[in-house]
């Protein structure tokens, strides 16, 4: 359950659901940003999709291997143990575990006020 909650959190934050709310006050300065890092174990054959990623997204495969593709991008990326990749454009991203792996997801996010 914890893994599902973590992945759902990442997907929602990358999609930007919390960043745009009706009635949000106008600001001349961009919102404060924070770097978030989530570590998730993926089983062989497990797939994840992210509706929207941007250039702040950084992935690292600590162990195992995984396949990454961005919608509309003809090049795919294979990460093996201790290799990393940074998104170079916005769009939907799909990740597939070729072997059991540990995936580190790092991205910039707006600081939310509660």
Instruction: Give the sheet arrangement for strand 101-110, strand by strand.
Output: 33-42, 101-110, 58-63, 83-86
Q: Over the stretch 15-30, which tens digit does the pLDDT of each residue have? A: 764 444 444 555 566 6
The pair of three-digit structure tokens given for residue 108, joined into one six-digit string? 């910039």
Whole-structure pTM value = 0.73
Mean pLDDT calculated for residue range 27-38:
78
DSSP state of 98: S
Which ranges in the chain belong to alpha helices (H)?
Answer: 2-15
């Amino acid at each position: 359950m914890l893994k599902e909650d973590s992945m759902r959190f990442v997907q929602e934050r990358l999609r930007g659901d919390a960043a745009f709310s009706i009635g949000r006050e106008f600001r001349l300065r961009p919102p404060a940003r924070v770097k978030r890092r989530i570590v998730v174990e993926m089983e062989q054959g497990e797939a994840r999709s992210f509706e929207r990623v941007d250039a702040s997204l950084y992935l690292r495969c600590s162990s195992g291997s995984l396949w990454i593709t961005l919608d509309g991008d003809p090049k795919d990326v294979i990460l093996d143990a201790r290799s990393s990749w940074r998104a170079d454009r916005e769009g939907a991203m799909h990740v597939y575990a070729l072997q059991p792996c540990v995936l580190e997801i790092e991205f910039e996010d707006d600081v939310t006020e509660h």
